[in-house]
Amino acid sequence: MRVVIADDSLLIRDGLASLLRDADVDVVAQTGSPDDLLLKVASYRPDVAIVDVRMPPTHTDEGLRAAEEIRRRYPDVGILILSQHVEIGIATRLLSESADGIGYLLKDRVTDLDDFIAALRRVAEGGSALDPQIVSQLLTKGRGADDPVNLLTPREREVIELIAEGRSNKGIGERLVITERAVQKHVTSIFLKLGLQQSDDDHRRILAVLAYIRP
Amino acid sequence: MSSAFSRRSLLLASLWLTAAAAEWAALRPVILQEHVRPEVVLYHVVGGSFAACGLLAWHRRPQSRTGPLMVVTGLLFFVHGTLGRLHSSFAETIGIAVSNYWVITFAALLIWFPGGRRRWAASERLVIGAFVVAEVVLVLAWMPFAEVPRNLALVWPNPQVASAIDKAASSLGFAASVCLAIVLVRRLLTATRPVRRASAPAAAGALTLLFLGALILQGVFTSAQSPFLVWPTLVGLVLVPVVFLAGVWRTWVARAAVGDLLVDLGSMSGRPLQAALAKALGDPTLTLAYWLPQFGSYADSDGQKLELPADDGTRLLASVEQDGERVAAIVYDASLAEERKLLDAVVAAAGIALKNERLGAELRARVGELSASRARIVGAGDEERRRLERNLHDGAQQRLVALGMQLRLLGPRIRTDPEAAEALVAAATAELATSVDELRELAHGIHPAVLDHGLAIALESLAARSTVATAVSVDLLERLPESVEVAAYFVASEALANVAKHAEASAVQITVSRGVKGALVEVADDGVGGADDACGSGLRGLADRVEALGGQLRISSPIGTGTTISAVIPCAS
């Protein structure tokens, strides 16, 4: 798996690169500026571009705009947005077109390296990775009393959060230490309760869930 | 004042007595007759009516000439009859000579009313002159020829000459009456509304005078007296004084309007105020002119420059003053000049309203300043929070994430590559130390923890960090309230930052003491000076912080002699 890292903090960039190389990920390029990122993506065509939201010159959303530009020019390049803090607004903006090959994670998820690599791999393969914090914010945010989400059992809530994060049934099963069959049972029940179309396809499934829980 | 007052009372009292006596003497023989003729009674009541109404008007409006003129007219009316009753040829002769003088004062009253003018127009002087010729000169010319009883002036008895002069005199008198009527009508046509309304009594008087002139003319030329002239003349002569008195009285009623005005004024200003004043004075042409001391000119309520009218006797000006300073002027119709008290009341009312307006304007200015300062404080707070967030984001947070990564890298190497692991631990420890330092600095910016140990220690440590030699002198018996300590600390801190940036100073003295008005914080340097709060947002922010506590920040920074920033902060305990 080939990745490009864009972050204006040399510390983070180097740290992340070292970690990823340790995990046998091929870091083909690093950069600290959005323009340079576009150049690097153009020349290396990585599987994933890891992009910090805040980049020079104004340190507001330059990284995000660069990511959108990459998505427009090179739709096959996965994008993993990293940020110090996650915001629903940015998640909505990112996922407004499609969730394919899009990830949005807090920077500190990096320290749970296995999980981070898994997420990176999902994005590289055209799947999604959404930070659990975003998912739980989406799930708890302003839900009315008659919202079917309230009908979900605690276990089903755990499952739907993991679906929204972009995990497959296998991943969910590993995470919750249950069998894939048990996961599938929960998924069926959830989709039934929320009135969603069943699908075996992982990221059509996550899109359905996201579309449902998105504000 | 009191002696003048009592002298006037005495004068009025004696005039009342004189008029009453004269009226009684005139009326007694008429009403004691067997056949009382109403027209004769009416004729003899004319003098009393003038005198009584005149005296009442005089009482009400001592400054006005209306009252005295009416009294004089009334008394002159009595003169011939009273002198005739003395059975003395000398007195009778004088009585004949002055018998019609009342017509002159009556005419003068009609022209004068409602008063307030300072000069007489040429036409008016001509009319009075005509009356004087008719009733004084021609009478004196007539007497030497007139064969009337007890006329000591009879020199050359000659009925033809006497009759001719008589005809000339009455013709002239009638002509003068017509001219007077024309003068009054012309004045009515060109007058402002208050003048027109006030002139109604004069119009009634002029009409009466016309009838009187016609009556005399008829008597002289035909020896007959038409009842169509007699009755209107007599009724007119009796009622005109009453109408005049009513005219004087009306302004008393108007004065009550000032009371309403005061109630209405409240926070009135600009056009409504002018309209209210105009209504109270019954003068729609009234103009309220605001004095603008900075321009040395007057302006109307819209702020347009206003040329005050020239003093031509038709428009007058009353100055509205506050604390001895001119603030405005009221331009009003000259007919109101005799309404001295009414004018004073209205001017005073305007003064109150203008004071309200000025206080209101001051208040608005203060509220404006306050909201601006509040907005700056909120803005400064937001800016501060943004700065903190940026600092945390770029500093501690990044470092901690990086630290996490380093520890992550370290984990698998502890066993396999101890040397690399040691290097990583060393790097991570250094990273951690830097993070701690950064966080400490940041926390210090939020609230100087060193203040926990007192202002003196906080200022000492501030001085120790300063790049310019800084001496601290704190003279306090007890600790200041926390908010005051924080403000004092930031005053010193910001001032020192400015010294470091701009002052090129070699020494700074920080002084804190407790004064009557509160804590006094002073930071003085010996640098280049030339600082001012308009150019430095830091100083402006300091001023806001100090003013928010009710204090004041002063910056004295003459070029070349250093800068002194001093803050007085009240210590409400």
Is B501 exposed, middle or buried, given 0-12, 13-18 or 19+ CB atoms closer than 10 A? exposed
pTM exceeds 0.80 for this model:
no
Looking at the fold, whether A84 and A145 belong to one and the same domain comes out as no
* Nearest chain A residue (CA) to B397: A84
Looking at the fold, whether A69 and A103 belong to one and the same domain comes out as yes
- Best residue of A7, A8, A12, A54 to probe chain B, by most B CBs closer than 10 Å: A12
Strand ranges of the sheet holding B564-569, from the earlier edge strand across to the other edge: B469-475, B507-514, B519-525, B564-569, B552-556
Does B397 sit within 8 Å of A12, measured CB to CB?
Answer: no
Q: What is the CATH number of the domain that holds A173?
A: 1.10.10.10
Looking at the fold, whether A41 and A126 belong to one and the same domain comes out as yes
Report yes or no: B404 at the A interface, CB cutoff 8 Å.
yes
Last residue of a domain, one of A130, A163, A193: A130
Looking at the fold, whether A112 and A206 belong to one and the same domain comes out as no
Assigned architecture for domain B2-252: Up-down Bundle (1.20)
Smallest Cα distance from A145 to chain B, Å: 36
- Angle at alpha carbon of residue A128, lines to A124 and A129, rounded to 5°: 100
Looking at the fold, whether A185 and A104 belong to one and the same domain comes out as no
How far, in Å, CA of A113 to CA of A135, rounded?
20
Q: What are phi and psi of B522, to 5 degrees?
A: -130, 130
Looking at the fold, whether A162 and A205 belong to one and the same domain comes out as yes
- What would the pLDDT profile of B120-175 be if each residue is shown by its tens digit? 788 889 999 999 999 999 999 999 998 888 888 888 999 999 999 999 999 999 99
CATH class of B450-569: alpha beta
- Chain A residues within 8 A (CB-CB) of chain B? 9, 11-12, 15-16, 18-19, 22, 54, 59, 84, 107-108, 110-111, 113
- What would the pLDDT profile of B344-361 be if each residue is shown by its tens digit? 777 877 777 777 776 766
Looking at the fold, whether A40 and A110 belong to one and the same domain comes out as yes
Please give the pLDDT value at position B300: 76
Cβ neighbours of B394 in A, within 8 Å: 9
Q: What is the CATH number of the domain that holds A65?
A: 3.40.50.2300
Looking at the fold, whether A114 and A181 belong to one and the same domain comes out as no
The residue extents of the domains of chain B are 2-252, 269-368, 371-446, 450-569
Correct CATH for B371-446 of 1.10.1660, 1.20.5, 1.10.10, 1.10.1750: 1.20.5
Alpha helix segments (H runs only) across B333-417: 340-392, 398-416
Q: What are phi and psi of B508, to 5 degrees?
A: -130, 140
Does A59 sit within 8 Å of B401, measured CB to CB?
Answer: no
Q: Which of A54, A84, A111 sits opposite B405 (nearest CB)?
A: A111
Smallest Cα distance from B405 to chain A, Å: 6
Looking at the fold, whether A151 and A174 belong to one and the same domain comes out as yes
Does B399 sit within 8 Å of A108, measured CB to CB?
Answer: no
Which residues does A118 contact at the CB level (< 8 Å), separation at least 6? A171
- What would the pLDDT profile of B473-487 be if each residue is shown by its tens digit? 999 888 888 888 888
pLDDT score of A58 more than 90: no
Question: Which amino acid is it at A136?
Answer: S
Smallest Cα distance from A83 to chain B, Å: 10
Range of the domain at A150: 136-213
Does A18 sit within 8 Å of B401, measured CB to CB?
Answer: no
For chain B positions 308-327, those within 8 Å of chain A (CB to CB) are none
Looking at the fold, whether A105 and A146 belong to one and the same domain comes out as no
Last residue of a domain, one of A86, A107, A130: A130
Which residues does B498 contact at the CB level (< 8 Å), separation at least 6? B531, B536, B538, B539, B563, B565
Looking at the fold, whether A181 and A204 belong to one and the same domain comes out as yes
Looking at the fold, whether A110 and A88 belong to one and the same domain comes out as yes
Last residue of a domain, one of A73, A96, A130: A130
The per-residue pLDDT string of chain B (573 residues; one tens digit each, 9 = 90 and over) reads 456 668 888 999 999 999 999 999 888 888 888 888 888 888 989 999 999 999 998 888 777 788 899 999 999 999 888 888 888 889 999 999 999 999 999 999 988 887 655 577 888 899 999 999 999 999 999 999 988 888 888 889 999 999 999 999 999 999 999 999 998 888 888 776 666 777 788 888 999 999 999 998 898 888 888 888 889 999 999 999 999 888 887 765 565 566 666 666 655 666 777 887 787 777 778 888 877 766 677 877 666 777 777 666 677 788 887 777 777 888 887 777 766 777 777 787 777 777 777 676 667 767 777 877 787 887 788 888 888 888 788 778 888 888 888 888 888 888 998 998 888 888 888 888 888 888 877 777 777 666 777 888 888 888 887 888 889 999 988 888 888 888 898 889 888 888 888 878 889 999 999 988 889 999 999 888 877 655 566 777 788 888 888 888 888 888 888 889 999 998 865
- Residue B52 Cα to chain centre, angstroms: 38
Smallest Cα distance from A132 to chain B, Å: 18
Pairing between strand B297-299 and B287-292? antiparallel
Q: Please give the tally of structural domains in chain A.
A: 2
